[in-house]
Amino acid sequence: MVWELPAYIDENGDTIPVVFLPSITIRSKRFFKSARDEKRFNKLYQNVRRVYPLAKEAGRRLTALEERLKTIPEAKHRAYTKALEDSLKREYKKELMALTVTQGRILIKLVDRETSRSTYSIVKEFRGSFEAFMWQSLASLFGSNLKSTYDSEEDRDIEIIIKDIEAESYRPPMKLRRSASKSNTNE
């Protein structure tokens, strides 16, 4: 078997192999001021890990929806979005209803991170001002805000967790991994 690698030939005629390596982030080990801070971070890690795939999927679906709406007549937009909404409700209702209030707040921020638009503005665009107002009122009853935006500085712990999830480098303590795997098997 012959392996062929990409190569670069310099001005002297020498062949230099070119190897593309994945990018990595090197960070020092994280130290916490107290056990309470570590527990809070690990709980945040679990919550972000639970809702991050939903936020990623929301971003993908919104992009696909916008692309699809460009290709169909404007008169059919409302019917198409309503059919898609019904489909999404059937697919995700159970999973979304199982989220805690904290996970819901994180999801709102992560949807903003993925789409560069607040959840409120997305609802307003596709369902109208009145619906957006109603959902915002309901969210405020639970201490949430659909107008929340993601700020990578303010939400730096969430950003660190997302980077670690994407790199698969952070592992919560064994006790938390066991409880997370138990909750995944129950679903």
CA angle, 14 then 20 then 25, to 5°: 135
pLDDT tens-place string over residues 101-123: 999 999 999 999 999 999 999 88
Residue 49 CB partners (closer than 8 Å, separation 6+): 161, 165, 180
pLDDT category, 181, cuts 50, 70, 90?
low
DSSP letter string, 74-85: GGGHHHHHHHHH
Q: What is the pLDDT of residues 45-100, one digit of tens each?
A: 999 999 999 999 999 999 998 899 889 898 888 888 888 888 888 998 899 899 99
Q: Per residue in 147-176, pLDDT tens? A: 988 888 888 899 988 888 887 755 555 554
| Residue 55 CB neighbours (<10 A) | 22
CA distance 185 to 169: 23
Burial 40-50 (b: 16+ CB within 10 A, else e): ebbebbbbbbb
